[in-house]
Structure 1
C-alpha cells in the first residue's frame, strides 16, 4: 500500500499558520514580482478568484472583499515543507518528496493494520506537530493513492483509504478523467474523442487499445487504476534530471554588472542544492530572457551550456563558470527581464572521476563551501556569500506583500508573553 500526502492550499496554510486571525478570511498568494495568483484560500475560490489570474485584474475585487494578499515567501514555504517531510518520514521506510507540498509514502504489506486508523493518526499528528492541514490518500498503487487524495478533498475529508476492490470501483465511478494523475491535455483530447469521461470509463478500455493510443505511459496508468503497481517510489536525488534557479527582475536590466550579480546568486543557489543532495554537476547552463510579451522591444533569448572540467558543487567553482558563460552570451542594447542557471548531468558526489594530472584543488573548494554552509545555517541564508552577488541587489523581484521569515530569521521569530 502507498500513501499520497499533500498540504491543503499550501502557501496560504503556511501564511495562516503564523497569522491565525486570517482563518476564514480571503487570502491569496502572488507569483514572482507579484504578477498573478498562484495560491488561494477556499474563501478566495468561492468568490471566483482563479489560478493565474493577473493581480491587476483582480486587485479591485480583492480590495472590496477585504482580502489579504501575500508575495511568495519561498524561504518560509521551503522550511515548512522540510518540517512536514521530516514528520512524514516517521511513518514510512521510504519517502519520495514529489514537490514542495506533496509526497508519496510506502506503507508496505500491512495486512494486519487498521489502515483508516493509521491514516487518521498520520493526519492528526502531522497537524499537531507542524500546524499544517494535510489530506492523505491511500491505495495499492501510486495512481490510486493520488486519486484517493483528490477524491477526499472533493468530499471535504481529511483522508480516504482505498483498500478493497469495492472501494476503488466506487471511487473511480464518477471521478473525472481529466483529474486523474498523468492525464494531460493530449491524452484528455484522445479520451474525449472516445467518450471517456470518468476514471471508470478509462478502466473499462482494453489494455491493448490503451497501449496503442496512449503509449506505455497510458498503459501503466490503466494498470495502476486496476490496482496493479507499475510505478515505484524512488529517491528524488536518484531521479533528478536537473537543478535550476531563476527569477524575473523587478524591472528591465541593461547593465552587465547587475545581471552578473543575479547569475552569481542563482549559481550559488544551484551549488547549495547540489551539496544538499550530495551530488555534483557535469554541465551548467546560463540563459537570458527579454520580455516576449512586449513586442515594442527587440527580443533576445541566448543560452550557453558549459561542460564542467571536473564535476562541481562548490559555490566558488559553479559561480565562476556561470559568470564566464554570461559574459559570453551578453549582448548590450537589450532590455533583459529574466536570467537563470541550470545544472545537468547530475551524479552522486562519491562517483566523481578525478584527473591525475590536474591541479584542481577540490578539497580546498569543498572546505570553503562547508564553512559557507555552516555559517549560513547558523545565522541565516545570505549571511555569508560571494562578493560577485553584490550587496544592494536592486534587481531583485518585486515583493510588496512579503510576510516575515518566521522560521529562518532570528529577528522575525514570534515572541510570546
Structure 2
C-alpha cells in the first residue's frame, strides 16, 4: 500500500533530523526533496527549466503572479516546486527524475550528484543579482512562480531581458561550481595552477614573488557549466542542419521557439561565463619580518558576484541587436548594416527583438506591471515616480514611527532614552 503525502513527509523529516552529522550539502538536498514530495505525485513536465531550482531555493520569489496591488509593495509568493512521483532519496535517482533536465544534464548530474546543489546555488545568486540590478526599473526581474518559465514568457521572447537572464544565471553556475572547487567540496577539482606573471601594478620587476595560495579553477567551472547549462538549448538548437537529431526525451523546450533564439541563448550563456573569466583578479600576500614584504605569494581569484552583475548590466545597456541568417545554417549577425561585418564579441549580449511594455500587467506573458511599486519623487533616474509609474501618477502615504532614541546609561543602573517621532513619506505607483 502506498503511503500518503503526510506519511512521506514525516518519514523524510525524521530522516533529516536523525542525521544531524550530514554535511550542509546533503541537508540541502534532503530539504529540496521534501519540498518536491510535498506537492504530491503528478506527471513531470518535460518543458521545465533548471532555473526553477534557484527560484525554489529562495523560498519566496520576488513579486508573484498572484500579487494584488494594494497601494504598497507587492506581496511575495513562494515558487512552487514541481511535483514528481515518490522516489528514494538517492542522488542518481534524483538526477533522473528532476523535471526539466535534458539527457545530457541528467548524465552530468549522475556523474557529479553534488552539481544539483551548485546549479541551485548558481541560479539563486543569479536571480538575486538580477533583481538587485533591476530593482529600480520597470522590469524588476520578477519571478512569477511558473516551473516552465520562472520569469514568464520573457524567457522565450529573445529581447534584452532574456539576454541578461541567461548571462547572469550562467555566470552564477560558473561562480558556484568554481567556489565549490576552491573550498574542496568537489573531488573532481581543486585549486588551479596559474601561469604567467602578475601585472606590473601587482608585482614590480625587482620584487620577489611566487604563485601560491588557492587559485580559483574557473576553467573547470566554465567547462562543467557549459556542459550542463548549454545542453538545454544545444539539443534543441538548429544551428547545424547536418547535426543528428537528439532523442525526443532530450528536448527541454517547446519546438515553437523562433529560429535563432537557441543560438542567442547559447551566445549569452557564454557571454556570462566570459565575464567571470575576464574579471579574474591577482591577489597577493606579503611575507617578511615586520611586514617588510620581502616575498609575495600571489594567486588568482574570481571577482565578487556584484562586480559580475555590474559588468553584465553594462553589457545589457550596450546590447547588440541581431538578425538571423538562415542560409545553409542559422547564424546571428548584427542588424546594423554599418557594422555587420564586425564579429560579435564573446562577452557581448545579443537580442533579437525589442522589449515589450512593462508598465501594465500582462499575465499571459508574465509581466507584473509597476502598480504598487515604490518610487522616488525627487529622483530623475529610473526609480523616479515619473518613469516608474509610466505617467499614471502615484499615491502618497505618510508613515509615522515612534521609537526610543538618544539612549544613555546612567550609573547605576538604568538607561534613559528620549522618545523620537519620525515622519516618512512613501510614494507608490497607481
Same fold (TM > 0.5): no
Structure having the higher helix fraction is 1
Which structure has the greater CA radius of gyration? Answer: 2
TM-score of the superposed pair, with normalisation by structure 2: 0.24
